[in-house]
Structure 1
Amino acid sequence: MTLLQARSPMREPDQRDAAVMQRRGWWLVGLGFLLPGSAQVLAGNRRLGRFGIGATLALLGLLALAGILWAVWRPALLTVVGNAVGLLVIEVLLVAYALLWLVLGIDTIRLARLPKVQGGARAAIAAVAVIATVAPAALAGYGASLVDTSRGLVSDLFTASGPPVEPIDGRYTFLLLGGDAGEDRVGLRADSMTVVTVDADTGAATMIGVPRNMRNAPFSEGSPMWGPWPNGFDCETSDCYLNGTYTYGEANPELYPEAEAQGSSPGIEATRDAIEGITGLELQFYVLVDMHGFEDLIDALGGITVEVEERVALGVDGAEPFAYVEAGTQHLDGGHALWYARSRYQSNDYERMARQRQVQEAIVAQFTPDVLLSKYSELAAAGTDMVQTDIPQSMIGPLSDLALRTRGLPITNLELVPPEIDTNAPDFEQVRALVQAALAEADAVGAPTESPQP
Structure 2
Amino acid sequence: MSAVSPIRFPDFRSPQTMTKRAWWLVGLNLLIPGSAQILAGNRRLGRFGAGTTFLLWFLAVVGVIVYLIAHSVIYTIVTNPIALTVAQLLLAAYAILWIVLTLDTLRITRLVKAAPGARPLIAVFAVLALLVTAGTASYGAVTAGTARAAVSQIFAGSTMAPPVNGRYNIMLLGGDAGPDRTGLRPDSLSVASVDATTGATTIIGIPRNLEKATFAKGSPLYKPYPNGYNCGDQCLIDYLYTYGEEHPSLYPNAKKNASSPGVEAMKDAAEGVLGIKIQYYALIDMQGFSDLVDALGGVTVDVPARTPIGGVTGARPTGWIEVGKQKMNGYTALWYSRTRYDSNDFQRMARQRQVQEAIIKQFQPSIILSKFQDIAAAGTQVVKTDVPNAALGGFVDLAEKSRKLPITHLELVPPAINNGNPDFGQIHQMVSKAIAPKSTPAP
TM-score w.r.t. length of structure 1: 0.94
Give 1:247 shift. Answer: 1.3
CA shift, 1:449, in A, is 4.8
Question: In the alignment, what sits opposite 1:51?
Answer: 48
Name the residue aligned to 2:345.
Answer: 349
2:380 pairs with 1:388: no
* 2:200 is the alignment partner of 1:204: yes
Once residues 104 and 78 of structure 2 are traced to their aligned partners in structure 1, the CA distance between those partners, rounded to angstroms, is 33
Residues 151-184 of structure 1, C-alpha deviation per residue, up to 9 Å, x if partnerless?
Answer: 110111111634x432111111100001011122
1:216 and 2:212 matched: yes
- Corresponding residue SS for 2:219: coil
The answer to whether the aligner puts 1:231 opposite 2:227 as a matched pair is: yes
2:85 aligned with 1:91: no
**Amino acid of the structure 1 residue aligned with 2:270:** I
**Residue pairs, 1:401-416, within 5 angstroms:** 401-416=397-412
Q: Name which of structure 1's ranges 331-340 and 361-370 shifts more when overlaid on structure 2.
A: 361-370
Task: Give the structure 1 partner of residue 238 of structure 2.
Answer: 243
Q: Separation in 2 of the partners of 1:184 and 1:317? A: 8
**Matched positions, count:** 442
Match of 1:307 in 2: 302
Q: Distance in 2 between matches of 1:12 and 1:205?
A: 67
Cα distance in structure 1, aligned partners of 2:220 and 2:130: 63
Aligned-residue CA RMSD (Å): 1.6
Residues 366/15 of structure 1: CA separation in 2 closer, same or farther (3 Å cut): same
Q: Per the alignment, in what secondary structure is the counterpart of residue 371 of structure 2?
A: helix
- Structure 2 residue 105 is the aligned partner of structure 1 residue 108: yes
Question: In structure 2, which of residues 265, 269, 274 is the aligned counterpart of residue 270 of structure 1?
Answer: 265
- Secondary structure of the 1:240 match is coil
* Alpha-carbon distance in 1 for matches of 2:28, 2:157: 44
Moved more, 239-248 or 367-376: 367-376
User: What one-letter code is carried by the residue in structure 2 that aligns with 1:383?
Assistant: G
- Aligned counterpart in structure 1 of residue 423 of structure 2, from 413, 421, 427: 427
Cα offsets for 1:191-213 (capped at 9, x unmatched) = 11010011111111000000011
Amino acid paired to 2:249: E
Q: Which of 127, 138, 144 is matched with 1:141 structurally?
A: 138
Alpha carbons of structure 1 residues 160 and 88: separation in structure 2 relative to 1, 3 Å:
farther
Give the Cα separation in 1 of the matches to 2:367 and 2:283.
23
Question: How far apart, in 2, do the equivalents of 1:336 and 1:31 lie?
Answer: 52
Q: 1:362, CA displacement in angstroms?
A: 1.8
Which residue identity lines up with residue 344 of structure 1 in the other structure?
A: R
Q: Corresponding residue for 1:297?
A: 292
Letter of the 1:200 partner, please give it: A
The answer to whether the Cα contact below 8 Å between 1:301 and 1:366 also exists between their aligned partners in 2 is: no
- Per-residue CA deviation, residues 104-139 of structure 1 (Å, 9 max, x unaligned), is 011111111111111422232222222222321011
Q: Which amino acid aligns with 1:77?
A: I
Match in the other structure for 1:67: 64
After superposition, give the CA deviation of every residue in 1:300-346 in whole Å (9 maximum; x if it has no partner).
12221111111112323522221111111112221121111111111
Letter of the structure 2 residue corresponding to residue 80 of structure 1: I
Residue in structure 1 matching 2:33, options 33, 36, 44 = 36
Give the secondary structure class of the aligned counterpart of 2:118: helix
User: Tell me, which stretches of 5 or more residues in structure 1 are unaligned?
Assistant: none
Residues 205-248 of structure 1: CA deviation (Å, up to 9, x unaligned): 00000001111111111110110011111112x22111111111
- Tell me if the contact between 2:157 and 2:257 (Cα under 8 Å) persists in the aligned partners: no
For the structure 1 residues 27 and 448, does the alpha-carbon distance in structure 2 shift closer, same or farther, using more than 3 Å as the test? farther
CA distance in structure 2 between the aligned counterparts of 1:433 and 1:369, rounded to whole angstroms: 36
Q: C-alpha distance in 1, partners of 2:14/2:157?
A: 64
| 1:247–1:177 distance in 2 versus 1, CA, 3 Å | same
**Would you say 1:321 and 2:317 are equivalent positions?**
yes
CA contact (8 A) 1:69 1:76 kept: yes
**Cα distance between partner residues in 1 of 2:432 and 2:374:** 39
Which consecutive segments of 4 or more residues in structure 1 shift more than 6 A? Answer: none
Q: How far, CA to CA, are the matches of 2:441 and 2:162 in structure 1?
A: 27
**Which one of the candidate residues 429, 432, 436 is aligned to 2:432?**
436
Unaligned ranges ≥5, structure 2: none
- 1:311–1:325: 8 Å Cα contact kept in structure 2? yes
SS in 1 for 2:49: helix
The amino acid that maps onto 1:26 is W
Kindly state the Cα deviation for residue 352 of structure 1 after the two structures are TM-superposed. Answer: 0.5
Residue correspondence of structure 1 range 252-271 to structure 2 within 5 A: 252-271=247-266
Aligned partner of 1:166 in structure 2 is: 162
Deviation at residue 267 of structure 1 after TM alignment: 0.9
Distance in 2, Cα, partners of 1:173 & 1:371: 27
Q: Is the 8 A contact 1:317 1:346 kept in 2?
A: no
- 1:189 maps to 185
Give the Cα separation in 1 of the matches to 2:179 and 2:7. 72
- Residue in structure 2 matched with residue 11 of structure 1 by the alignment: 8
Contact 2:26 2:105 in 1 (8 A): yes
Q: Who is 2:442 aligned against?
A: 450
Contact 2:201 2:402 in 1 (8 A): yes
- Name the CA distance, whole Å, in 1 between partners of 2:207 and 2:76: 35
Query: Aligned pair 1:372/2:368, yes or no?
Result: yes
% of aligned pairs identical? 51
